[in-house]
Amino acid sequence: MTVIPYIEKRFTAASMGLIEAAGEVVEEYTAMDYKITVRQLYYQLVARDIVPNSQKSYKRLVSLIGDARMAGMISWEALEDRTRNVKGLQHWDHPQQVLRAARHSYRRDKWEGQPYMVEVWVEKEALASVVARTCQRLDVDYLSCRGYMSLSEMWAASQRFVEAIENGRQPVIIHLGDHDPSGIDMTRDIFDRLDLFVGYHISNETEVKRVALNMDQVEAYGPPPNPAKITDSRATGYIKQFGKVSWELDALPPNVLDAVISENVLAYRDESIYKEVVAREALELAAIDRAIKGIRI
């Protein structure tokens, strides 16, 4: 990991203590081969009773972590911004690299022949990269809803699911969202709108399963509470059921999210069918290897 001091800065004892605590959290994520956002770092520190849960506290942490990185105390690669990324075309130094890359990217649909078509939907873009790693390992599609799903994307999803149903597969959405008035309601909204769109075309419904954040997980992992947004139009019903506090999905560690998603996705996978597809893929990869060895450039 890269640590480069660009500035000299003296920190108070309190600030040094917070930087060291933040560094320990960063090291935990790094050991699990995850990068962490400043917001996730903040919620981990709140959950450990190291910083108070307030907007002022969050802004202070953002500023302090920025200074600590500039002063060479926290690795530049350990923290990431998942909303701003440079994009461009990929380039190659030799044609052989393209063949090897093609071999590396070749894979069969591990859900080929399965009775279910599973997708994982997460409320927040900030957690997309965490969800992506799990879903790529399980070979299921994933989607960042960015709050309530847009009409266009909801309709597009319904068309995927109609096609799946017509091909004899049952669509399943694994949904993850905040435990707050809107976050809870988003699961209902997804089901209702998909039921409308899918039901218009075919007499079948999509299963929408909310797997996080739920009260049993709040009780098990103790994420830091936030005040429920009483200005939210859904607050009244939420407060009657859960009280005047809410919890954010970001506060759960990535290994917990990985375990929750994996357990729920694998519940829909027929292992015998899966193993047949994996074996077939292995034979095809071996054939590609033989073909690459026979090419002379």
Output the pLDDT for position 297: 63
Q: Distance (Å, rounded) from C-alpha 16 to C-alpha 14? A: 5
Output the pLDDT for position 1: 66
Q: Is-contact 250 124, C-beta < 8 A?
A: yes
Averaged pLDDT for residues 167-191: 96
Q: Distance (Å, rounded) from C-alpha 13 to C-alpha 186? A: 44
Averaged pLDDT for residues 188-217: 94
Q: Distance (Å, rounded) from C-alpha 58 to C-alpha 56? A: 5
- H or E segment and range at residue 12: none
Stronger pLDDT, 134 or 288, i.e. the higher one: 134
Q: Which residue has the tokens 């907007």?
A: 55
pLDDT at 229 over 70: yes
For the entire predicted model, the pTM comes to 0.82
Output the pLDDT for position 129: 86
Q: Could you tell me the end-to-end alpha-carbon distance of the chain, in angstroms, rounded to an integer?
A: 37
